[in-house]
Amino acid sequence: MLTHLQRTRTRLFEVADGCLFAISLLAAYYLRDACVGWFNWEALAPIGDYLWLVPVVALIGPIVLAGQGFYESPRPAHRLRALFAILRSCSFTVIGLILVLFVLRQQYARSVVILVGTISGILVSIRYEVAFHFQSQRFAQEQLRRRALWVGLPHENRQLRDALTRIERDTLADLGEFNPVTQPVDEFVRALHDQSVNVVILNLAGIDRDHATRVLLACANEGVEVVVRPGITSLPSPQVSVDRFGGEAVFYYRAQSAPLSHLVIKQTFDYIAATLLLVVLSPLLALIAAAVKLTSPGPVFYRQVRCGLNGRSFGMLKFRSMTAGAEQQQAALAGQNEMRGPVFKVSKDPRVTPLGRVLRRHSLDELPQLWNVMRGEMSLVGPRPLPFEEVKRFDQDTHRRRLSVKPGLTCLWQISGRNDIADFADWVRLDLAYIDQWSLWLDFKILVATIPAALFGRGAR
């Protein structure tokens, strides 16, 4: 499918489903309110107390649906899978609401929260069935399918056709080919007229500038859309968009696969969540700070310059878990390093204080980095930031791709055994897998998995 059309359609469905989740919350409140009046139960809180949850549930619902692959394929064969995705997503949304209310220490009627999942499941299922029925109609299929004429060398067009997914093939009505090298442009214009072409797929591989220009000018005169394939296939997983630079159209290549809109959501969530967590956890932070100060001489916080996004330096904060002046002693412990590669890890580090071992085991020493998240230097989820000296010792250029995203408070390495991983190559493999497979749903799963990993100290020493 032409990806911009697919994305537009998906965004419309996401917005529609977000509105349905919001409506579900209001419907759940009034349904519960009616039951309260009927059975003379304890009165509900005023509707105004619930209004702030409307945008929350409208945002969480579509994100969870997308994470379940609900928007990936409209094919009839996937109908049952879509319905199961709705069921799982509504359940996860209810769990997410409960977690939000728990963190914020808000007390609301549990029946309202549960009804949100039930009503939203029914409404989204109805919306899906309506869209499914419409897309199954012959008229809709004719309107949704693009009448495509392929322009380029035959073997290059064949190669591109073979690379199409099944869904992309279903959304194109193939009208044949035109070879601009051997056929005059007049024949191309006649084909546009005779076959009512509404999109031209221009394959630039092997075609010179003059031939391509004539085709583009003809399409501009006829008002026909053009999809241009530049023929550059050596870049891994390219994310290419068209922009303007110097007054000309240019291709903009992004090495990261994440949609920009999802990155904005991630950044916004980081700011909000970090702020709320700092407020909610402030008593615990004060208690840890007092304990650090009373149990060993030295400052409460440890600040170290670390490598951030694209290698930019920033001062990362931690509760001090080692004795004062521990950095000066690291060279003497180099022979005890247990991590293969450029990083330094010692499981029974003599520099760690007794309190520091407890803090490290449960990752409590990392909590001050919520301040780094608020400052935009870190994210809640991302590869752990490393000191500059360790980054300089990277022996493979691909290792630096860890720096292509913001470092995080937690990551796949953090929940996959942490100190049980003894080879830096395995650590990097997890980080690159996170970067390549990133999604809002993956961040959510990592955040949820971090809670038991921190509470029980899994993989920490």
Q: What is the number of alpha carbons within 13 Å of residue 283 lying toward its C-beta?
A: 1
pLDDT at 403: 83
Q: What angle do CA 414, 417, 445 make, to 5 degrees?
A: 50
Asked whether residue 206 carries a pLDDT value surpassing 60, the answer given is yes
User: Which of 146-155, 292-301, 332-341 is predicted least confidently?
Assistant: 332-341
- Over residues 88-134, the pLDDT tens digits come to 888 888 888 888 777 777 777 777 888 888 898 899 989 888 887 77
Per-residue pLDDT band at 291 (split at 50, 70, 90): very high
pLDDT at 1: 43
- Over residues 350-370, the pLDDT tens digits come to 788 889 888 888 889 999 999
- Kindly report each contact of residues 132-135 with a partner whose C-beta sits within 8 Å and lies 24 or more positions away, as own/partner: 132/74, 132/76, 132/79, 135/74
Q: Chain-centre distance of CA 233, in angstroms?
A: 25
pLDDT at 335: 64
Return the biggest CA–CA distance within the chain. Answer: 87
Structure tokens at 205: 């591989």
Per-residue pLDDT band at 35 (split at 50, 70, 90): low
pLDDT at 139: 54
- Residue 253's identity, in one-letter code, is Y
* H/E segment holding residue 125: helix 110-136
> Can you tell me the distance from the alpha carbon of 367 to that of 383, in angstroms, rounded to the nearest whole number?
16
- Residue 320's identity, in one-letter code, is R
What's the sign of the alpha-carbon dihedral 427, 433, 438, 443?
negative
pLDDT at 236: 56
Nearest to 321 by CA among 306, 341, 302, 294: 302
- Over residues 154-201, the pLDDT tens digits come to 988 888 888 887 767 777 888 889 998 888 988 998 988 888 888 899
The secondary structure of the chain in percent helix, strand, coil, rounded to multiples of 5, reads 60, 15, 30
Asked whether residue 460 carries a pLDDT value surpassing 70, the answer given is no
Q: For strand 408-410 and strand 379-381, is the pairing parallel, antiparallel, or unpaired?
A: parallel
Q: Quickly tell me which residue has 């929350």 as its tokens.
A: 56
Question: Contact 178/156 with Cβ under 8 angstroms?
Answer: no
Q: What angle do CA 193, 195, 199 make, to 5 degrees?
A: 90
- Name the DSSP letter for residue 341: S
Burial of 163 (0-12, 13-18, 19+ CB in 10 A): exposed
Average pLDDT over residues 389-404: 77
Burial of 302 (0-12, 13-18, 19+ CB in 10 A): buried
> Can you tell me the distance from the alpha carbon of 461 to that of 459, in angstroms, rounded to the nearest whole number?
7
Burial of 320 (0-12, 13-18, 19+ CB in 10 A): buried
Question: Contact 410/446 with Cβ under 8 angstroms?
Answer: yes
> Can you tell me the distance from the alpha carbon of 399 to that of 431, in angstroms, rounded to the nearest whole number?
9
Q: Across the chain, what does the average pLDDT equal? A: 81
pLDDT at 76: 45
Hey, what domains does the chain have and what are their CATH numbers? 3-139 (no CATH), 145-234 (3.40.50.10700), 260-324+338-455 (no CATH)
> Can you tell me the distance from the alpha carbon of 32 to that of 54, in angstroms, rounded to the nearest whole number?
16
- Residue 141's identity, in one-letter code, is Q
Nearest to 198 by CA among 147, 256, 267, 252: 147
User: Which of 18-22, 243-247, 263-267 is predicted least confidently?
Assistant: 243-247
DSSP codes of every residue in 428-440: HHHHHHHHHT--H
